[in-house]
Amino acid sequence: MTQNKQGPARLWRRNGAIWLALLLLLMTSFATAYIPELIRSRVFLRLAGAAGLFFSFILFGLTTIEVLMRLSGR
């Protein structure tokens, strides 16, 4: 039984596009709901919001790296 090499790449492109669209919707929702509140907030609350966003980017990046490592066969 031979594996189709094109299958995983096509699947990754489709899932990657869906993931990117969901991430864009998440950022839009975040921007419209929380950015105006954070601008008027105290410094500590702004710092907490920035830290949460920073760690979210780290988690998304680690997830992407893990998926790419699985696809490369390592």
**Per-position pLDDT tens, the chain of length 74:** 445 556 667 777 888 889 889 989 988 998 899 888 888 889 998 899 889 889 988 998 998 889 888 888 76
What is the model's pTM?
0.54
The answer to whether 46 and 38 have CB atoms below 8 angstroms apart is yes
**In angstroms, rounded to a whole number, what is the distance separating the alpha carbons of residues 34 and 61?**
22
**Other C-beta atoms lying within 10 Å of the C-beta of residue 70:** 11
Using DSSP, how many helices (H) and how many strands (E) does the chain show? 2, 0
